[in-house]
Structure 1
Amino acid sequence: MESSSRRTVRHDCEKCWIRNLETFREFSPPELDFVSEFKSGEMLIEPGATVLSEGSLSPHLYTVLSGWGFRYKILEDGRRQVLNYVATGDLLGLQGTLMGEMQHSVEALSPLSLCVFERERLGTLFRDHPGLAFDLTWIAAREERILDEHLLSIGRRSAIERAAYLLAFLAHKARESGMADTKYINLPVTQSHVADTLGLSIVHTNKTLRKLAERGVIRWLERGCEVLNEDELARIADWRPPVPRRRPFI
């Protein structure tokens, strides 16, 4: 039974707003036809709702149309590690498709709109559309590169460098995903999310974010963060955003 946290809708793939963003590559006509048939519907997820659960055998794959979510794992005692964040154009559920079950969970951070695809039809994509198959490989490789940078941050950056890196990364992701059309960027993350991403206590996280706010690079809001100076955050973190390039999505 469909819960109150999920509602289904349907939009035409040919009119998908993502296709108008310069960040993403265009589909060829056969690819667009296939994706339109591959897609079984859309789903609207409320903030705080679980999209995929660790250990589950989901019959679906998802592409984020709009909104924010995050991937995470939880230890038996309840401690949570946020692994990465997802936004427009990102793919969810591929790991469960290839591994047999999900190795992490995904939760909606803001209202989340998803395209829904039937997992059992993925073989048709690999057999008949090698360009899209390459795109899936590229998406997986990109996720690996991002996780490499996250691991470097947790392992070697100081607390303030970790926080600066995370917020610079999310601001870059917002602009790359067409979710930031203003000078300043609002990120729907709480201090709890930041702490669970950085591997710090909530007290240490609060002190660290206060230092960044005192430098005038962020402004902390009631339920989120406003990024005021992306370049300075990147400088503090000693991080260079990836060179912009058109990337694929499904």
Structure 2
Amino acid sequence: MATKCRNCPLRQRDLFIDLSSDEVDFMQKFKAGELTIDPGTPILMEGSNAPQLFTVLSGMGIRDKMLENGERQVISFVFPGDFVGLQAGLMGKMGHSVEARTRMKLCVFDRSEFWSFFKSHPGRAFDITWLAAIEEHFLGETVATLGQRTATQALAWALIKVFQRGDALGLVENNQMKLPYTQRDLADALGLSLVHTNKTLAKLREAQLVSWSSGTLHVMQPDALAELGMTSWDTLRPRPLM
């Protein structure tokens, strides 16, 4: 049975801005259903013009882009609460692909109703703008990482960002969280070779900052890891939930 918007488990998290009763009712009307998919299933394909938009209710995925020479750039990792498909909704087609890395449950929204946000719910339209802006901000930070952080700093930055998000979603217990990604994914996100990534992770492990094995990320010293990555271990700013 599909989850009612009023009973959405994500609304209980401090990471998300609470919705008014009117906004919850509107989202329930906008929601077309739910979709459960297995790991490895494409959600959206690069170049596609999908008629649906999605909010991740549970599970994790990955955004990536394939280049003509066969190389891959990982754009970002997908977490519960992320709004997926906005690019196609505004530009007509996807510039990257989105794939499930765990079993995922998605709230499905009909893109044909998308513009009603801007007509009848300007507050929700602002939320969409906010999500687009925060994604642009994150990509800017990623570009700075690719260009200016050393490999050690870049890995520290990436791992603390993932860990912060997991912690805000209640996915961290005893400083550990399940992480369904691979070292290749991390390397492709940071523009590093797999060998360099592996050696750098070993250095972080030897420094007793972080370990990542058997699908579990263990951050022993969050503040120190954040400092190494030239960022901070702060509570994340609450974000809209679509």
Q: TM-score, normalised by structure 2?
A: 0.95
Measure the CA separation in 2 of the matches of 1:225 and 1:241. Answer: 16
Note the C-alpha offset of 1:214: 0.7
- 1:15-94 correspondence runs (5 A): 15-94=7-86
Match of 2:127 in 1: 135
Q: Which runs of 5+ in 2 are unaligned?
A: none
Match for 1:99 among 91, 98, 105?
91
Count, aligned residues:
242
- Residue 77 of structure 1: CA displacement? 2.6
Cα distance in structure 2, aligned partners of 1:115 and 1:37: 12
Q: Do the aligned partners of residues 15 and 182 (structure 1) sit closer, same or farther apart at CA in structure 2, a change above 3 Å counting? A: farther
Q: Bigger shift: 182-191 or 93-102?
A: 182-191
Which residue matches 2:220? 228
Per-residue CA deviations over 1:68-94 (Å, capped at 9, x if unaligned) read: 111110112321110111211111000
- Please give the secondary structure, in 2, of the residue aligned with 1:185: strand
Report how far residue 224 of structure 1 moved.
4.6
Q: Deviations over 1:90-140 (max 9, x none)?
A: 110000011110011111122221110000001111101111000000011
1:6 aligned residue: none
Paired with 1:245 and 1:194, the residues of 2 have a C-alpha distance of 24
1:187–1:226 Cα contact (<8 Å) kept: no
1:179 Cα deviation from its structure 2 partner = 2.5
Q: Give percent identity, aligned residues only.
A: 43
What's the counterpart of residue 195 of structure 1? 187
Amino acid at match of 1:53: M
CA contact (8 A) 1:186 1:227 kept: no
Equivalent residue number for residue 211 of structure 2: 219
State which of 152, 155, 161 in structure 1 corresponds to 2:144. 152
Q: Structure 1: 5+ residue runs without aligned partners?
A: 1-8
- What is the identity, as a one-letter code, of the residue corresponding to 2:21? P
The partner residue of 2:110 within 103, 118, 123 is: 118
Give the Cα separation in 1 of the matches to 2:236 and 2:200.
29
Name the counterpart of 2:230. Answer: 238
Give the alignment's Cα RMSD to 1 decimal: 1.5
TM-score normalised per structure 1: 0.92
Alpha-carbon distance in 1 for matches of 2:17, 2:201: 36
Task: Verify: 1:174 aligned to 2:166, yes or no.
Answer: yes
With over 3 angstroms needed to count, the CA separation of the structure-2 counterparts of 1:130 and 1:182, relative to structure 1, is: farther
1:207 and 2:199 matched: yes
